[in-house]
Amino acid sequence: MSKIEKLIHRFLTIPTDFTFPELIKILNYFGYEEIKSGKTSGSRAAFANIVTKDIIKIHTPHPTHILKEYQIKHIINTLIEKGILKDG
């Protein structure tokens, strides 16, 4: 199992210590790039997939980089809805 596969597997377990930089690695792997202009600056982040034209928006965690459970679940559900991840 590759490093990214291990990271995705860990992400899907909804860990309590998953970081924003780890999320960026996963989203980059699935073809999402962080949008760094407009209203995404500051505490908001947006990731766009050039192929599917899909955008994922979340608030960046602060003061630590640890994601909240609801953020992880939201991203997992979005990736499942878009057919990027398989359900189950």
pLDDT at residue 17 greater than cutoff 90: yes
Long-range CB pairs of 13-18 (<8 Å, 24+ gap) are 14/69, 14/72, 14/73, 14/76, 15/72, 16/66, 16/69, 17/66, 18/66, 18/67, 18/72
pLDDT at residue 41 greater than cutoff 60: no
The C-alpha atoms of residue 42 and residue 52 are separated, in whole angstroms, by 26
Domain segments of the chain as ranges: 3-81
The residue ranking higher by pLDDT, 72 or 61, is 72
pLDDT at residue 58 greater than cutoff 70: yes
Q: Which CATH number fits domain 3-81: 3.40.800.10, 3.40.50.1440, 3.30.920.30, 3.30.70.100?
A: 3.30.920.30
Q: If pLDDT is split at 50, 70 and 90, which confidence band does 38 have?
A: low
Overall pTM > 0.95: no
pLDDT at res. 39: 58
